[in-house]
């Protein structure tokens, strides 16, 4: 039996084009109707924490913008990994999103036992904000600059401790990066939360701390703590007279406590883009800008591709530090 090869190939090609076109139109229709029911917005930390207040601010604006409720759901535990795991296991329809922080990239980049792969099982929607840390000391420490702190630490090995909100978190790694790049040996002392660590700094139980300026500003202004530098790549307009750690003699040092929104890796791109556009719109609102400025934060609003790449880059960065510094996180 004779078969017209050209005709068969043409028919197959036409069918393939039709299938692709149908899929594309279906995705457009999904995005057009999204959301048509409440969206679960997971906040993986306790109410009142930085991630939670940011999630609630974004959820409030997204609810108004889309005339559909974005409901904040606090799913705490396991250093924020429970909320992210729930997001990774949710149906890939865009009705479960989650706000994460830089600490999640630390955990995922250094802990092979995590129940998900942040760079594979999830995708970025948008990095919402960028927030530097400050490096501060108890006033009894004889150091008013980063260089003086390094000199004192080298002259008194084992005498300085630094606090963190818990082992394996961003504050812990901020201190370990300082140890590694400045070639000093400050001892890590983990606490149950940032507030407990600040209290330990105030009492003198520990001498050095790494945390947001917003969290220690009142103590700094009252002279109960001394801020030496910020961890940003460049000086901040919020505190223009405070130098960066890098310019103070520790080149390459930068720690960013960013917040961003993620969802499952298989959620359709048109839906992801629609959520991202809403986040960007929220970040442009005057009340949002005012709140971020008060905290020392900067609005970002990156694309899904940019944020996904940033997450993977951060995971690699902290993994490299853990190996180079031979950190034992158990």
Interval 95-144: pLDDT, tens: 999 999 999 999 999 988 899 999 999 999 999 999 999 999 999 999 99
In a shared domain, residues 212 and 268: no
Interval 173-231: pLDDT, tens: 999 999 999 999 999 999 988 889 999 999 999 999 999 888 899 999 999 999 999 99
Which pLDDT score, from 0 to 100, does residue 20 have?
Answer: 44
pLDDT score of 16 more than 50:
no
Which pLDDT score, from 0 to 100, does residue 194 have?
Answer: 86
Which pLDDT score, from 0 to 100, does residue 142 have?
Answer: 97
285 domain-assigned: yes
Q: Is the pTM of this model over 0.75?
A: yes
8 domain-assigned: no
225 domain-assigned: yes
In a shared domain, residues 123 and 44: yes
Calpha distance 164→197 (Å, rounded): 6
Is there a cis peptide before residue 35, judged by omega within 30 degrees of 0?
yes
pLDDT score of 1 more than 50:
no
Which pLDDT score, from 0 to 100, does residue 271 have?
Answer: 98
Calpha distance 115→203 (Å, rounded): 38
Rg (CA), the chain: 23
In a shared domain, residues 200 and 285: no
In a shared domain, residues 125 and 180: no
Which pLDDT score, from 0 to 100, does residue 221 have?
Answer: 95
Token pair recorded at residue 191: 């606490």
Q: pLDDT-derived band of residue 28, with 50, 70 and 90 as boundaries?
A: low
Domain count, the chain: 2
Interval 238-249: pLDDT, tens: 899 999 999 999
240 domain-assigned: no
pLDDT score of 2 more than 80:
no
In a shared domain, residues 105 and 116: yes
Calpha distance 132→150 (Å, rounded): 20
pLDDT score of 18 more than 80:
no
The CB-side HSE value for 327 (13 A sphere, CA atoms) comes to: 28
pLDDT score of 23 more than 90:
no
Q: For residues 320 and 11, which has the higher predicted lDDT (pLDDT)? A: 320
Region of poorest pLDDT, from 34-38, 107-111, 292-296:
292-296
Domain termination residue (choose one: 230, 249, 272): 230
DSSP code string of 114-176: -SS-TTTTEEEEEEEEEEBEEEEE-TTSS-SSHHHHHHHHHHSTT--EEEESSTTSHHHHHHH
Which pLDDT score, from 0 to 100, does residue 5 have?
Answer: 52
Which pLDDT score, from 0 to 100, does residue 215 have?
Answer: 85
DSSP secondary structure letter of residue 252 = T
Do 298 and 215 contact (CB within 8 A), yes or no? no
CB atoms within 10 A of CB 173: 30
3-state SS, residue 40: strand
pLDDT score of 26 more than 70:
no
In a shared domain, residues 98 and 169: no
DSSP code string of 89-114: HS-SSSSEEEEEEHHHHHHHHH-TT-
Structural domain boundaries enclosing 157 = 133-230
Which pLDDT score, from 0 to 100, does residue 71 have?
Answer: 98
CATH of the domain at 137: 3.40.190.10
In a shared domain, residues 123 and 137: no
Do 241 and 162 contact (CB within 8 A), yes or no? no
Which pLDDT score, from 0 to 100, does residue 48 have?
Answer: 78
Q: For residues 235 and 52, which has the higher predicted lDDT (pLDDT)? A: 235
Which pLDDT score, from 0 to 100, does residue 8 have?
Answer: 46
3-state SS, residue 260: strand
Interval 267-288: pLDDT, tens: 999 999 999 999 999 999 998 8
In a shared domain, residues 226 and 186: yes
16 domain-assigned: no
CB atoms within 10 A of CB 222: 8
83 domain-assigned: yes
Token pair recorded at residue 247: 């310019």
Instruction: State the average pLDDT for the chain.
Output: 90
In a shared domain, residues 126 and 262: yes
In a shared domain, residues 220 and 138: yes
In a shared domain, residues 125 and 182: no
In a shared domain, residues 83 and 160: no
């Amino acid at each position: 039996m004779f078969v017209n090869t050209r005709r068969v190939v043409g028919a197959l090609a036409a069918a393939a084009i039709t299938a692709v076109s149908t899929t594309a139109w279906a995705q457009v229709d999904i995005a057009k109707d999204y959301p048509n029911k409440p969206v679960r917005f997971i906040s993986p930390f306790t109410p009142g924490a930085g991630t939670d207040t940011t999630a609630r601010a974004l959820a409030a604006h997204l609810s108004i913008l889309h005339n559909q409720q974005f409901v904040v759901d606090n799913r705490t535990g396991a250093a924020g990994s429970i909320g992210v795991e729930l997001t990774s296991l949710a149906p890939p329809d865009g009705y479960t999103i989650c706000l994460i922080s830089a600490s999640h990239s630390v955990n995922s980049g250094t802990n092979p036992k995590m129940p998900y792969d942040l760079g594979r099982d999830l995708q970025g929607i948008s990095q919402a904000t960028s927030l530097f840390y400050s490096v501060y000391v108890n006033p009894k420490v004889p150091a008013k600059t980063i260089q003086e702190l390094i000199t004192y630490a080298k002259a008194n090995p084992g005498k300085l401790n630094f606090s963190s909100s818990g082992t394996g978190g961003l504050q812990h790694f901020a201190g370990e990066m300082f140890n590694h790049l400045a070639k000093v040996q400050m001892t890590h002392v983990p606490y149950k939360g940032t507030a407990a660590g600040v209290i330990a700094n105030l009492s003198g139980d520990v001498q050095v701390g790494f945390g947001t300026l917003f969290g220690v500003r009142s103590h700094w202004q009252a002279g109960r703590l001394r801020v030496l530098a910020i961890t940003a790549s460049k000086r901040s307009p919020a505190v223009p007279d405070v130098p960066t750690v890098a310019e103070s003699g520790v080149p390459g040092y930068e720690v960013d406590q960013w917040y961003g929104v993620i969802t499952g890796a298989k959620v359709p791109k048109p839906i992801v883009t629609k959520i991202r556009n809403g986040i960007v719109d929220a970040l442009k609102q005057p009340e949002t800008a005012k709140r971020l400025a008060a905290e020392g934060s900067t609005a970002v609003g990156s694309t899904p591709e940019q944020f996904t790449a940033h997450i993977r880059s951060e995971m690699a960065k902290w993994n490299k530090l853990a190996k180079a510094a031979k950190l034992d996180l158990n």
